[in-house]
Amino acid sequence: MDRARKYFKCTDGERAVFEAAIKLAMVFHQFVGVPVTRASARSLEKAIEEAVRIQPWVVRARARIDRRALVKTAGRYGYKSLDARMLVVEVETAYGRARARCSMRFVSELDYPLMCIDEVRLSGMK
């Protein structure tokens, strides 16, 4: 049951990808800028994943921060701030008969942190 259903004029597939996009953009715009080191990366990944998972219609969430981007240079100022180049996020949503797998990753050929739709599936179809 969806108490917000009346606010959506769309198909189940459209709703599923809409919800996935909200979560991917949340991760980018909420967490980019957080100070991070190799030692703290795991706790940050976990907080990101939980922030995604507790939102409506999410069935799976995964966040990975590239440790190679976190090689600490010497001294106190050697840590990094999370940026989209280090981040891979995958989210799967389910709404009605639709299921969507979407992700965010830095795409070198575009020089751009792309949020994309990997698959939309409809169940109960022949």
Beta carbon of residue 126, minimum distance to a copy of itself (angstroms, whole number) = 18
Beta carbon of residue 29, minimum distance to a copy of itself (angstroms, whole number) = 4
Residues in touch with a copy of itself (CB under 8 A): 2-4, 7-11, 13-15, 17-26, 28-37, 39-40, 43-44, 46-47, 50-57, 73, 75-77, 79, 81, 83-84, 102, 107, 109-120
Using alpha carbons, list the distances in angstroms from residue 78 to 5, 36, 47: 48, 10, 23
For residue 20, what is the enclosing H or E element? helix 12-31
Beta carbon of residue 98, minimum distance to a copy of itself (angstroms, whole number) = 9
Beta carbon of residue 54, minimum distance to a copy of itself (angstroms, whole number) = 5
Please tell me the distance from the alpha carbon of residue 40 to that of residue 49, in angstroms, as a whole number.
15
Q: Of 79 and 88, which has the nearer Cβ to a copy of itself?
A: 79
Q: Of 21 and 92, which has the nearer Cβ to a copy of itself?
A: 21
Q: Of 54 and 125, which has the nearer Cβ to a copy of itself?
A: 54
Buried b (16+ CB within 10 A) or exposed e, 89-110: bbbbbbbbebbbbbbbbbeeee
Half-sphere exposure of 83 (CA within 13 A, CB side): 8
End-to-end CA distance of the chain: 25
